[in-house]
Amino acid sequence: MVTAIVLINVKRGMIPETVQWLVEMPGVAEAYSVAGPYDVVAIIRVAENEKLSELVTKKMVELDGIERTTTLFAFEAFSKYDLERMFSIGID
């Protein structure tokens, strides 16, 4: 499983529809509108690097609202949520 975080700059006034288009794309697990230097953050989970490349460089660039992206690859996942789930089923 390949996980990536895509930081996205969106055209003014197009955040809601851009986020909606993103979450409908296969491989986009989550999308958030955010404050700061980026407008939207998308969490991508795909089977292989080629799928990630296709999604970001071919599919996302077709969306009218997206002006620019920065893609971060995840090497390892650390999650308090996963630890809480593990302990809730009684694993020591």
- Which residue type does 39 have? D
Instruction: Please report where in the chains the tokens 């009218």 appear, as a residue.
Output: 64
Separation in Å, CA 71 to CA 21, 26, 28: 18, 17, 13
- Is residue 35 within 8 Å of residue 15, measured between CB atoms? no
C-alpha triplet 34, 35, 37: angle, nearest 5°: 105
Residue-wise pLDDT for 6-21, tens only, equals: 999 999 999 999 999 9
| pTM for the structure as a whole | 0.83
Residue 89: pLDDT above 80? no
